């Protein structure tokens, strides 16, 4: 065997061995996570299942210690930032008090498919999907209404659903509430450019001045701004929610295959591209001025991804005849459910649930 061929074969064997080790590590971690987070109570529920909403197959992870508990439907952010793969790492307290439903929305995560009709990727269709899913969950678990929790993009479609279909919901919780898309991006850009100048970070200043202030004509410029926003603490203030830490958790998820992981990244790109221009007119002052269920806003004091000051304005303007509440998370930014999971669970259990649970 020639030396070149020998080196090539040896290199291939090393790659195969490393891949086998990585896959073995993943299998061990998946088993460990599954055992550590298993629901073993007599009346518990733990189900990873596919449902059809609006003609498209979509995936749910349903977990809870007691299926007679109230049902909480979590709407992930993005668009496309599906979170079934990390749900088990952050819901340990919530599942004692709620039946928690994590949903990979159409085009995201496990629900991504290249066969999804692009024309179905509209904000209106997502609101209809929420309606249909809420109806399905109400009937299945025999509850009067669903606790609807929307994070970031999820709060945009969540507020619209709660406003249009109040009969389906027990309460609405907006976490990192989206309000007015164009103003949100202007505030966020000013914040990060100011921080860059204060820090004397010339690379950040050059990048931000190159893309200029919004509105942008597509996702790439927004990603430049978001990269620096993350660096300056406007997205998350915890190492636990940095991308590397979340990917490590996702890779050890028993609920995602490696193909699902590929689908996560394909779904993020697909969802962002398909929904970009459809989100630009978002203005909840006009589109959801009244919500006829109890409303709670969870705001991170350092959130400049969906700037807290806009959530405050919406809170003051919102007509909420059954009550509205604004709850601060002083040490968090935008990623409240993941960077402050204990405080987040406490607010949902000891504020939202205790104040609104059907007697």
- Domain identity same for 60 and 10: no
- Domain identity same for 63 and 26: no
Q: Which of 221, 234, 224, 243 is nearest to 192 (CA)?
A: 234
Question: Does residue 200 lie in a domain region?
Answer: no
The pair of three-digit structure tokens given for residue 222, joined into one six-digit string: 């927004």
- Domain identity same for 261 and 304: yes
Question: Does residue 216 lie in a domain region?
Answer: no
- Domain identity same for 3 and 77: no
DSSP state of 353: I
Please tell me the predicted confidence (pLDDT) of residue 280: 86
- Domain identity same for 126 and 56: yes
Question: Does residue 213 lie in a domain region?
Answer: no
Question: Given strand 146-151, what is the order of strands in its sheet?
Answer: 45-53, 56-64, 99-104, 71-75, 146-151, 169-175, 295-300, 324-329
Question: Does residue 198 lie in a domain region?
Answer: no
- Domain identity same for 92 and 7: no
- Domain identity same for 29 and 60: no
- Domain identity same for 7 and 88: no
Question: Which residue intervals of the chain are DSSP H helices?
Answer: 3-36, 123-141, 153-164, 181-199, 202-211, 219-231, 243-251, 258-279, 284-287, 308-317, 336-339, 341-347, 354-356
- The torsion defined by the Cα of 11, 12, 14 and 20, in degrees rounded to 10, comes to 170
Cβ atoms within 10 A of the Cβ of 193, count? 20
Tally the domains of the chain. Answer: 2
Question: Does residue 279 lie in a domain region?
Answer: yes
- For the whole model, what pTM was predicted? 0.92
Dist CA 147 CA 347 (whole Å): 13
137 in Cβ contact with 49 (< 8 Å): no
Per-residue model confidence as pLDDT tens for the chain (359 residues): 566 554 555 555 555 555 555 556 676 778 888 898 999 999 999 999 999 999 999 999 999 999 999 999 999 999 999 999 999 989 999 999 999 999 999 999 999 999 999 999 999 999 999 999 999 999 999 999 999 999 999 999 999 999 999 999 999 999 999 999 999 999 999 999 999 999 999 999 999 999 999 998 888 999 999 999 999 999 998 777 766 777 778 788 999 998 998 999 999 999 999 998 889 899 999 999 999 999 999 999 999 999 999 999 999 999 999 999 999 999 999 999 999 999 999 999 999 999 998 64
- The torsion defined by the Cα of 162, 166, 170 and 174, in degrees rounded to 10, comes to 20
CATH code at position 68: 3.40.50.1820
The pair of three-digit structure tokens given for residue 276, joined into one six-digit string: 């970009």
- Domain identity same for 9 and 96: no
Question: Does residue 194 lie in a domain region?
Answer: no
Question: Does residue 60 lie in a domain region?
Answer: yes
- Domain identity same for 297 and 319: yes
- Domain identity same for 162 and 287: yes
Domain residues for 259? 45-182+236-356
Dist CA 191 CA 230 (whole Å): 12
**SS percent in the chain: helix, strand, coil, step 5:** 55, 15, 30
- Domain identity same for 176 and 308: yes
């Amino acid at each position: 065997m020639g030396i070149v061929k020998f080196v090539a074969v040896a290199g291939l064997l090393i790659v195969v061995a490393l891949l086998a080790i990585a896959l073995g590590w993943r299998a061990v971690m998946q088993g460990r996570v599954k055992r550590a987070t298993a629901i073993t109570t007599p009346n518990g529920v733990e189900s990873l299942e596919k449902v059809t909403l609006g003609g498209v197959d979509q995936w749910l992870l349903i977990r809870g210690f007691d299926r007679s508990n109230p049902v909480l439907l979590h709407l992930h952010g993005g668009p496309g930032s599906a979170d079934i793969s990390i749900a088990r790492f952050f819901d340990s307290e919530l599942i004692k008090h709620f039946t928690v439903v994590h949903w990979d929305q159409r085009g995201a995560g496990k629900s991504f498919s290249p066969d999804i009709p692009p024309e179905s990727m509209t904000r209106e269709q997502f609101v209809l999907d929420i309606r249909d899913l809420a109806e399905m969950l109400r009937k299945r678990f025999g509850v009067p209404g669903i606790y609807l929790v929307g994070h970031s993009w999820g709060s945009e479609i969540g507020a619209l659903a709660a406003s249009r279909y109040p009969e389906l919901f027990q309460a609405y919780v907006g976490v990192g509430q989206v309000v007015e898309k164009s103003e949100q991006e202007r505030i966020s850009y000013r914040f990060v450019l100011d921080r860059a100048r204060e820090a004397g970070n010339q690379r950040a200043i050059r990048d931000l001045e190159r893309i200029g202030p919004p509105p942008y004509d597509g996702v790439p410029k927004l990603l430049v701004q978001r990269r620096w926003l993350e660096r300056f603490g406007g997205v998350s203030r915890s190492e636990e929610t940095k991308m590397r830490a979340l990917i490590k958790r996702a890779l050890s998820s028993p609920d995602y295959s490696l193909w699902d992981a590929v689908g996560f990244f394909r779904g993020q790109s697909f969802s962002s591209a398909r929904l970009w221009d459809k989100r630009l007119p978002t203005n909840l002052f006009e589109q959801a001025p009244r919500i006829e269920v109890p409303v709670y806003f969870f705001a991170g004091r350092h959130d400049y991804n969906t700037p807290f000051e806009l959530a405050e304005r919406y809170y003051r303007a919102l007509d909420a005849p059954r009550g509205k509440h604004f709850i601060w998370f002083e040490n968090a930014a935008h990623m409240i459910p993941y960077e402050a999971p204990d405080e987040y669970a406490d607010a949902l259990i000891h504020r939202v649930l205790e104040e609104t649970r059907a007697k």
